[in-house]
Chain A
Amino acid sequence: MKKTLAQMEDRESSARIDDIAALWVARMEARPLSAEEDSELDAWLAADIRRQGAFARAWAVSLQMAKAQALGRDFFTDPDQE
């Protein structure tokens, strides 16, 4: 079955997927998801394998970023004081 142009344009961009994946990861790290959010995330993930990958990648990235804690406060000039 040939895809129509409209269907091709409808294909969610990987950048858009990354946006949403990052939001989910930030939310999960801030607090436990509500039951409703939990099923919303499941449904979102199930719809496209790329979303599952983006979510896993976003999570890995967040863990990687968290390592910065070892640098300590002194590494960063205070953005408030600039």
Chain B
Amino acid sequence: MARVGNERALWLAQHILPHEPCLRAWLARRRVAELEIDDIVQEAYARLASMDSVEGVRNPRAYFLQTAHSIICTHLRRAQVVSIRAVDDTELSRFECEDASPESTVCDRDELRRIGDIVAGFPKQVAAVFILRRIEGLSQRDTAQRLNISESSVEKNMAKGIRLFMDTIALSGISSPCASNRGDEKNIGADGRPRKQCPD
């Protein structure tokens, strides 16, 4: 088993993370009792992380959904549950989620601001540590000195920040208009049907 490399982590950050709310919404619709959404998401990331190459992935969102679908099928087969219907690529790329086009097209400025807002909403100590480490670029040691806490506490606070951010992405994403459209009224599809599949 290879550990995910920096290059692949960057690809995931850029092309997969923005579609996570979409994937979760899709999974919620086709909920399979035996499987937890969080488990499927983790496994999907694992598969994407361990692929030899992602060069061939033209539509990361559809690929992400397809990967999750295949994971569900594998589990169901293993559990000898009746198979769920196959999903074709057209359906995957058509799945509407108000977020971005399949190419992750995010206004960089909006995305940055959203990231900043999330960080600013962290508990005080977590935000303080993050700002010194990542915004001001201080070392772990200097951060510890500045805040008069131990280095291991700096590390734990950074971990806490990552952890909180992971939950935020799961709930509302980082960058999709989906995440910023808070009104429920907005979740109506072009066909007039409620767009429940993409909860805020």
Q: A-facing mask of B102-113, CB < 8 A → 1, else 0?
A: 000000000111
| Main secondary structure on B side of the interface with A | helix
State whether A64 and B17 are in contact (beta carbons under 8 Å apart), knowing that A22-B159, A72-B135 are contacts in the complex.
yes
State whether A14 and B160 are in contact (beta carbons under 8 Å apart), knowing that A60-B17, A65-B119 are contacts in the complex.
no
The residues of A with any CB-CB pair to B shorter than 8 Å are 14-15, 17-19, 22-23, 25-27, 29-31, 41-42, 45-46, 49-73, 75-77, 79-80, 82
Contact A46 B116 (CB under 8 A): no
The residues of B with any CB-CB pair to A shorter than 8 Å are 1, 3-4, 6, 8-10, 12-13, 16-17, 36, 38-39, 41-50, 111-113, 115-116, 119-120, 124-125, 127-128, 130-131, 134-137, 140, 151, 154-156, 158-163, 165-167, 169, 174
Q: Within the complex, which residue of B36, B41, B45, B159 is in contact with A23, where a contact is CB–CB below 8 Å?
A: B159
Contact A64 B165 (CB under 8 A): yes
A2 CB to closest chain B CB (Å) equals 11
